[in-house]
Amino acid sequence: MKRIQQTIDVLATFCAGEPPEPHRFRVRDRYGNVHVYRVGCILDVKKDRSLGYDIWTYRCQGMIGNTERIYVLRFNVQKALWQLVKI
């Protein structure tokens, strides 16, 4: 897996008392092109606390390009910030 640490836009559903569930995310490549990918399935969800922030970490699987890949998304609750961490 390659570390990316890139801020992304995510379409997710939120329910009280549960972690948000990501469905699709939008990412820019190094040339400025925008790509939209669908989250195929969520393999694992963990809640961590780092530097005083609650962070949900999702290990997901889905099609990126023409390849089935496993990747990691991270959601910072206090900042409402999504990141693509590893791919």
Token pair listed for 55: 């962070």
Each residue's pLDDT tens digit, 24-73: 999 998 999 999 999 999 999 999 999 999 999 999 999 998 999 999 99
pLDDT of residue 78: 95
Quick one: three-class SS letters along the chain? CCEEEEEEEEEEECCCCCCCEEEEEEEECCCCCEEEEECCEEEEEEEEEECCEEEEEEEEEEEECCEEEEEEEEEECCCCEEEEEEC
pTM: 0.91
pLDDT of residue 79: 96
Token pair listed for 11: 């379409």
pLDDT tops 90 at residue 85: yes
